[in-house]
């Protein structure tokens, strides 16, 4: 089944995530949490200003999961060199981490947006 196209903002997030995962795969001294965590925070900041922010984060997370799954399927080829398999494994790990972080952060962004909307409605309510 073909996936729906990503919006411009979603595509931007997706490519940034792919680039970070690729960097993580190729630079073996790189650590997942601090480097990729800062990207998640930047995406969350963007999502707060976007009307469909949380839904977009979930769509990007789904797409990253699909890419990670395709890497796992491709890594079943035993003819690959050990370094290539290790890089594929690290890339898969990074993509799965980013997908899970985006999905969980989407929930907190959604809660933030609901709280902000409620606070705005309360402050705009006419007083008697």
Asked whether residue 61 is assigned to any structural domain, the reply reads: yes
Instruction: Kindly report, residue by residue over 93-117, the tens digit of the pLDDT.
Output: 999 999 999 999 999 898 888 888 7
Supply the range of the domain harboring residue 105.
8-124
In a domain, 1, yes or no: no
Mean predicted lDDT score pLDDT of the chain: 85
Name 9's Cβ contacts closer than 8 Å, sequence gap at least 6. Answer: 46, 50, 56
| Of the candidates 126, 106, 92, 104, the residue with the CA atom closest to the CA atom of residue 50 | 106
N-to-C CA span, the chain: 56
How much is the pLDDT for 117?
75
Query: Could you tell me if residue 113 is inside a domain?
Result: yes
Instruction: For residues 34 and 88, give the distance between their C-alpha atoms in angstroms, rounded to a whole number.
Output: 21
Report the number of distinct structural domains present in the chain: 1
- Predicted confidence at residue 100, as pLDDT, reads 94
Residue 32 has pLDDT above 90, yes or no: no
80: which 2 tokens?
Answer: 């690959």
Tell me, yes or no, whether 102 lies in a domain.
yes
For residue 3, being part of any structural domain is answered with no
Residue 112 lies in a domain: yes
- Residue 14: inside a domain: yes
Is residue 2 one of the residues assigned to a domain? no
Number of C-beta neighbours around residue 25 at 10 A: 21
The pLDDT, as a whole number, for residue 113 is: 82
pTM of this prediction exceeds 0.85: no
């Amino acid at each position: 089944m073909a996936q729906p196209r990503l919006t411009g903002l979603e595509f931007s997030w997706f490519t940034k995530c792919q680039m970070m995962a690729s960097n993580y795969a190729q630079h073996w001294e790189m650590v997942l949490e601090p480097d990729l965590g800062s990207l998640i925070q930047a995406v969350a900041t963007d999502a707060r200003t976007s009307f469909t922010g949380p839904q977009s984060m979930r769509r990007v997370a789904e797409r990253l999961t699909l890419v990670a799954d395709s890497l796992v399927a491709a890594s079943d080829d035993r003819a690959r060199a050990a370094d290539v398999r290790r890089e594929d494994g690290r890339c898969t790990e990074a993509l799965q981490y980013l997908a899970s972080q985006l999905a969980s952060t989407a929930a907190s962004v959604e809660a933030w947006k609901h709280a902000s909307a409620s606070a705005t409605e309360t402050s705009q309510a006419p007083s008697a």
